[in-house]
Structure formats: C-alpha cells, structure tokens
Amino acid sequence: MEDIRADFFGAAPRYRFIGTLGRGGMSVVFHAEDVELSSEVAIKVLLARDEIAWGDTLERLKLETKINWKIRHPNVARVFDLGRAGDFSYLTMEYIPGEDLARILESRGSLPAREAVPILRQIALGVGAAHKLGFVHRDLKPSNIMVDRAGVATVLDFGVARALSGRRRTGPGIVMGTPAFLSPEQASGQEVGPSSDVFSLGTLGYMVLTGSLPFTGPHPLAIATAVITDPVPEAPLERSGVPPPLVEILLRCLRKDPAERYETANQLESALALLPLPHPTVRGVETLPVHPVDDDDLLSVFEDHPREKPRQEDRPRHAVITEVLPVQVPSVLVADDDPVVRTLLRHHLEAAGCLVFEANDGIEAVEATESGPDLVLMDIKMPRMDGLDATRIIKTRPEAAALPIIIMSIIRDRSRLAFAIQCGATEFLPKPLDIPRLLETIERVLSFRGLRLPLHASSAGAAGPA
C-alpha cells in the first residue's frame, strides 16, 4: 500500500496525500489536497494490473464518471475529473467529511427509526435520481454510503451501475454486486431494474434498524442462495422495536418478486416520507440527533410573540369549512411571507379543486395547522420563525405526525435538504416553483392519505414559475 501511495502521488504532483479512506478489490480511495485549487478531494485509484482486468476496470471508471455527470443530485457524490498518472488511472471526487455507514453501524450496532429513516430517505432520493435517468446502481451497501456529522447521507460508487437500455457490460449469468445486498434476480444472474435497487435498499434498511442482515451464510454462494430462497426473518425487527408501518415498508422492499416491490427508489422514499414516526417533544425529551436546535430557546421565541389570529375570512378554520364543503375536498395551508407567492399558489391550488388558507410566518403556520389541514406548503425563510423550526414544532404533536409538509426554498443543497428531512418534511421543492411539478407532487402526497385533487392538474390554470 505504501508503494502504491508513493508511486501515485509521485506521478501526480498536483495532489498532496492526506490519508487513505478505503480500499476495495479494484481500487483504493485516497484523501488528498488539490494543490492548484486549494481544495480537498477524494481520489479513486485503479489497482488492476493485467491488461484484461485493467481495460474492463477502466471502462467501468469511465462509465461511473459519465453517469455521475448526468445525475447531479445533492445525495450523490460529485465526480470532478478522470485522469491518468504514471501507470495509474484515477478519478477525483468530492471529499465528504464523515464516516461511511458501515463504520457507523460497526460502532453503534443499529440506529433508531427516527434517525435511520432520514438517512434511508436521502439514500433513496439519490438512487431515485439515477432511476429517473435510466440507471441502476447494483451495489448499494453501507460502505457506499457516506454520512457526515450533520446527518447528510451521500451515495458513492456507481462503478457497477448499468443503464436500463443499451449494451450490457456483463454477460448473462454474471453476478455484479455484494452478495448480502443482492436482489434475488441479481443473485440469479438475471436482468435487473430499479426494483433491484429497492430490494438492496430494503436490505440496507433492515441492517441499519436491526444491526443484522436478513440473509446470511458461510460463503458468498450460500448467501446468494438465501437471498433467492429464504423468507425474511421478522423477529429481529420486532426485537429492535421497529414501528409496524416501517416493518411493512421493509418487507415490501424485500419481496422476492420484483413486481411486488416499490417500482423505484422514489416510490420507496414517498412511503418513508409519510411515515408517522415519533418525534421529540419541545420540552423534556432528547433533541434531534443532528443539527440540534435549543428547544427552550425555540419555545421561548414561539411564546414571546402575541398569537394574533388571522381574520376568519383570510384563513378559514378547517373545523368550520368541513361543515359546508364535501369531505373529499383537500385543504392546503400555504405558509409564505411573500403575498405574491401566496396569491399565485392560491390561484393554482383553487383551480385544482383545493381549499386554500394562508399563513404569513412560521408562528402563524404552527397555529394554523391546529385546524387540521390535509397538507402544508411551507417556505423556509420566514419572519419570527423559519419554516424548518415550524415544521419541527408541528411534528412534535402526535395528531400532526402524519401531516405532509412540503418545504419550499430558493436554496437547495444537501445540508438543507437533510435538515428538512430530519425536521419531518415530506418533500423539498426548489424555488422558483415549477407549478406542474408542484401539482404532481401534491397529488402524489395526497394519494397516500386517500385524497386526490378534485380537478386534473391540466385544468389548474396556466403553468409557470412561482
């Protein structure tokens, strides 16, 4: 290893060695400084030596680079460049401080549902972005997931990914991936689709929540056979206290028949997003495990402001409107301090058949949810209390645990996205809003609550950014 490090960095003077991040069968990953740009990077260096293995591995490295450039999602690590130094081919990637999920589980054993679900949602979002573009990861496992101190999860290593259309890089019957995280169709050497990644995500979730794998064996072939034939052991889930709705989601992911699973990682993420998980109360209970907010300060901010009630005609109470309108009409709370945005959203939502009421800031939004809306659209940046703090307070109430909250923000980065998920947000949409996408998201979220938009999105007024 010392020789490899010395040879590579001797041939690549642009990079200064800082440390070794990990090693696999085909490559080693170094932590280094890009001296020219004064920035830290991760460098994946190929270890293949014979000509055939070298050529195949280099092709996979090129494929990983091309796939990454197309995905460009906050929960997927960015690849910067592909190069060659001396006898080594390498690619430079974004350096993510933190630990991979394998090391976290090694030290902690397992994670509680309240901490595990935000991580699983972020992984599903990153993998779902690949599915949208027609790629399957094929090697999802804890060592390919980085989690930083803020709880931000990032998917690594699309080196064995495959496009859903086009030339196969492996012949029929050739198995790619790690045995314990294979889907049954992968273990059988069959064609794979997005639902194969869903199975791997189910295995990953099972391990994160229980500290054990659902399928084991003394050697890789035995493990692959267990994946194909053995039922999922449910006892570890029960012993770990995994909430029953979450158990149902995992068991659906781990069904042998791909047609019985979630079709894509995004469908799985939607199911996880709408789980009514327990959240910490504002006082007397442990705060969220990452990005802590001082609950006493938060409560004092909430209570120090007078609780003026908006005029009834501006924000009708849900308890009142249900007496005069059909129950199937969904009610949506729009919380945004920009009156232009509120007016535009009201126009599109009412045209889609929703009942809309409004809040001017975070504190008013918290109060307005007491009237029981079916869905909340919440901007992050608002006076008196921002949207994330408001979301967190709303989610401390048991009756609001399942309330869908869609966060809106002009800034979208992985840290903000992760914090929104940790606070209990169901979805995160960037501003300016794409109205067709917004209505499609609302319709999808409402469908999980047994509701629908009374009018089709196509009749909801002219589309345009908000």
- What residues are labeled active site? 139
Give the phi and the psi of residue 364 in degrees, each rounded to 5. Answer: -65, -35
> How is 260-288 classified by DSSP, letter by letter?
GS-SSHHHHHHHHHT-------SSSS---
Distance between CA 268 and CA 266 in Å, rounded?
A: 5
Q: Please name the amino acid found at residue 239.
A: R
Distance between CA 14 and CA 34 in Å, rounded?
A: 6
Residue 78 tokens read as 């960015």
Selection from 169, 206, 178, 6 nearest residue 87 by Cα: 6
Query: Running DSSP on this structure, what letter comes out for residue 433?
Result: P
Distance between CA 124 and CA 126 in Å, rounded?
A: 5
Q: Are 448 and 270 in contact (CB under 8 A)?
A: yes
Three-point CA angle 193, 226, 197, nearest 5°: 20
Q: What does the chain come to in residues?
A: 466
Tell me the three state secondary structure of residue 100. strand
Distance between CA 400 and CA 416 in Å, rounded?
A: 22
Residue 268 Cα to chain centre, angstroms:
10
Q: 259 vs 153, 192, 252, CA distance in Å?
A: 28, 12, 10
Give CB contacts under 8 A, 24+ apart, made by 450-455: 451/328, 451/330, 451/374, 452/328, 452/330, 453/330, 453/352, 453/353, 453/354, 454/328, 454/329, 454/330, 454/352, 454/353, 454/354, 455/351, 455/352, 455/353
